[in-house]
Chain A
Amino acid sequence: MAELKDIIRQTKAQFCLDCGKCTAVCPVSRFDAKFSPRLIVRKALRHPDKIYADENIWSCIGCNMCTVRCNYNVSYVDFIRYLRMKSRENGTEPVFSHAGVPESFMHLMARKETKQNRLGWIPDDVGIDTSSGTAFFVGCAPYFDAIFQDIGVRATDSSIGAMRLLKAAGISCNVLADERCCGHDLILSGDLSGFLDLGHANIEEFTNRGIKKIIVSCPECYYTLKVDYPRYFNDWNFEVCHITEVPEISQISRHTDANGSVKRKVTYHDSCKLGRYFKMYDGPRNLLNSIAGVELVEMENNRENAVCCGASPWMYCGSINKQVQDERLRQAGSTGAEMMVTSCPKCQIHLTCAQKSHDNAAEDIRIVDMYHLLSQSLARKEKD
């Protein structure tokens, strides 16, 4: 693993001026006075031997708000990710939420001998083309279905929606029987070896099935395949593209413009990865606007100022995270919208969990997945 001084150079941490802009915008710092991105950098530079035992390195939710604001573009999330890797190397065990189920199934999935049975959720009308060189990357959606059945979120609805959109756009894709989790949550929680195992298994599967291009709908999978895989794997030579970037998708949705009689107010929640990391703000909004009868209203904080859904790599989800989620729900509620649309299955899970766990300002708003909504409007159009 790289040395601390290399990481300081890579993440530009030496440019941190201690100005405090990162702390001012950080959603965690707002509720947790002990946490601050700049303080972590300062502690790491002054006392590199003590920083790995500091519990504050586990509070970051990786929303990238700090880097967007930073005048020198210091990549705090990457810096903290490195500190976590080192800390785990030294034997620290983070506290996992959901009883550690996500972490365990990711490790079990990474095993070479694992032969998964993960395509049962695909409905008959959405065919898969096993000879295609293009793959639709599903990620952990079927596994999330198994864990989050009690809060009523079906993550595979998002994947089914995305596949229906691709089918309507005339793009035939394969869905791989032994695709693994992308490893986003493992690497963000500092588990580098788990991430590498998943990555190698995925590359082997893509190569064996003759895949050249990968279409992704989950923003975190997209970030990992697009940014982290080329960084960590020399043999990565696949084209990765997000579903909203596929030109045919925006064309099919334009056809659904026709008869808009029912007005529905919806608000769009920018996921951190699609928003602040890739600056894809307009693509999803244009798609939503193209649904007949949809009126898109913005929340108080939107686009690069959007508040994160509050919990990232399935760990340390506590009262601070709930406060961040409550703030986001309050913003959604005050728009008066009927639905809050997310483009990330994890945002949907986290926000629904917060909504169901206690009373808050937005108990009536429905938290809906974007691809599911888009595919439903498609189905209605076909019936007409």
Chain B
Amino acid sequence: MNAGIVVFTCNWDGWSCIDAASSAGMKYPASVNIIKLTCLSSLNAGSMLKAFELGADGVLLLGCLQRQCRYGQFSGNIEVEITKARDILNLLGARSGKIKLSKLAAFDGKGFVEQLQAFINELTAPTLPVKIQTSIEKIHMTERKIIKG
């Protein structure tokens, strides 16, 4: 099963990568939803959390390289918003989802698909089924008790 991913991309280099990937006929899972914005700096923590609230497992943010922003000086706003959203997700526990920021050069279709696939692998691979995980936690708990006792 593929992880549900929401990609927020800027209108410029981020979008050009996706465009290049589709023009070259590259494939990525159908569970990826792409939302285009004018600039990543206009995105806030609320929209990222809303994606998780609506069932996404991961949010990928696709923007221009640091000095390539079409709207002048890079504001750093997105980093602040990512920190807020990550802090909230951290409080909500490990299973609540992940956010990844990637900045790519224009028309790097291959880079986009690779980044996306790596993110999907990261989201799907390490999680053990819930039952096994809880039983491992129980073993740890009993071990601790034995050591303490």
Taking Cβ atoms with an 8 Å cutoff, the residues of A that contact B are: 96, 98-101, 104-105, 107-109, 113-118, 142-143, 145-147, 149-150
Docked Cα-Cα span, A107 to B49, in Å, equals: 10
A146 engages B84 (CB within 8 Å): yes
Interface segment out of the listed B33-41, B93-101, B105-113, B116-124: B93-101
Inter-chain contacts of A105 with B (CB < 8 A): 49, 88, 91-92
- A104 in contact with B96 (CB, 8 Å): no
Question: Could you pull out 14 A-B pairs where Cβ atoms are within 8 angstroms?
Answer: A100-B46, A100-B49, A100-B50, A101-B46, A104-B52, A105-B88, A105-B92, A108-B92, A113-B95, A114-B93, A115-B93, A117-B90, A117-B92, A143-B88
- Which residue on A lies nearest to B94, using beta carbons? A117
Smallest CB–CB gap between B116 and chain A, Å?
24
Distance in angstroms between the alpha carbons of A107 and B96 in the assembled complex: 12
Q: From residue B99, how far is it (CB to closest CB) to chain A in Å?
A: 13
Interface of A is mostly: helix
Contact A114 B53 (CB under 8 A): no
Q: By the criterion CB–CB under 8 Å, are B46 and A117 in contact?
A: no
A150 and B80 contacting across the interface, CB-CB below 8 Å? yes
Interface residues of B in 8-53 (CB under 8 A from A): 44-47, 49-50, 52-53
Max chain B CB contacts within 10 Å: which of A96, A104, A114? A104
Chain B interfacial positions (CB closer than 8 Å to A): 44-47, 49-50, 52-53, 80, 84-85, 87-88, 90-96
Using known A-B contacts A101-B46, A107-B53, A108-B53, determine if residue A146 contacts B87 with beta carbons closer than 8 Å.
Answer: yes
B91 proximity list for chain A (CB < 8 A): 105, 116-118, 142-143, 146
Instruction: Tell me the bound Cα distance from A207 to B88 in angstroms.
Output: 26
Task: Please tell me which one of the listed residues A101, A113, A116, A118 contacts residue B84 in the complex, with CB atoms under 8 A apart.
Answer: A101
Contacts of A117 in B (CB 8 A): 90-94
Whether A108 contacts B46 by the Cβ 8 Å rule is no
With contacts A108-B49, A108-B52 taken as known, whether A101 is within 8 angstroms of B95 at the C-beta atoms is: no
Closest Cβ–Cβ distance, residue B136 to chain A (whole Å):
14
Q: Would you give the shortest CB distance from A107 to chain B, in whole angstroms?
A: 5
A99, B96: Cβ atoms under 8 Å? Answer: no
Report the bound CA distance from A116 to B52 in whole Å: 15
Q: Which 9 pairs between the two chains have the least Cβ-Cβ distance?
A: A99-B46, A146-B87, A104-B49, A100-B46, A99-B44, A115-B93, A101-B46, A104-B53, A118-B91
In the complex, what distance in Å separates the CA atom of A118 from the CA atom of B88?
10
Closest B residue to A117 by beta carbon equals B93
Does B84 lie within 8 Å of A108, measured CB to CB?
Answer: no
Report Cα–Cα, A113/B44, bound state, in Å: 26
Which of B44, B88, B91 has the largest number of chain A CB atoms within 10 A? B91
How distant is B79 from chain A, measured CB to nearest CB, in Å? 12
Contact B53 A99 (CB under 8 A): no
Chain A residues with Cβ under 8 A from B53's Cβ? 104, 107-108
In the bound complex, do residue A101 and residue B52 qualify as a contact, i.e. CB atoms below 8 Å apart? Answer: no
Residue contact B46 to A109, C-beta cutoff 8 Å: no
Neighbouring A residues of B84 by C-beta, 8 Å: 101, 146-147, 149
Question: What chain B residues lie within 8 Å of A101 (beta carbons)?
Answer: 44-46, 49, 84-85, 88
Shortest distance from the beta carbon of A23 to any chain B beta carbon, whole Å: 33
Query: Of all chain A residues, which has the CB nearest B134?
Result: A115
| Cβ A109 vs Cβ B52 within 8 A | no
Min CB–CB distance B145 → chain A (angstroms): 14
Contacts of A116 in B (CB 8 A): 91-93
Contacts of A99 in B (CB 8 A): 44-47
Closest to A150 in B: B80
* Chain B residue with the shortest CB-CB distance to A142: B91
Q: In whole angstroms, how far apart are the Cα atoms of A113 and B52 in the complex?
A: 14
Docked Cα-Cα span, A117 to B84, in Å, equals: 15
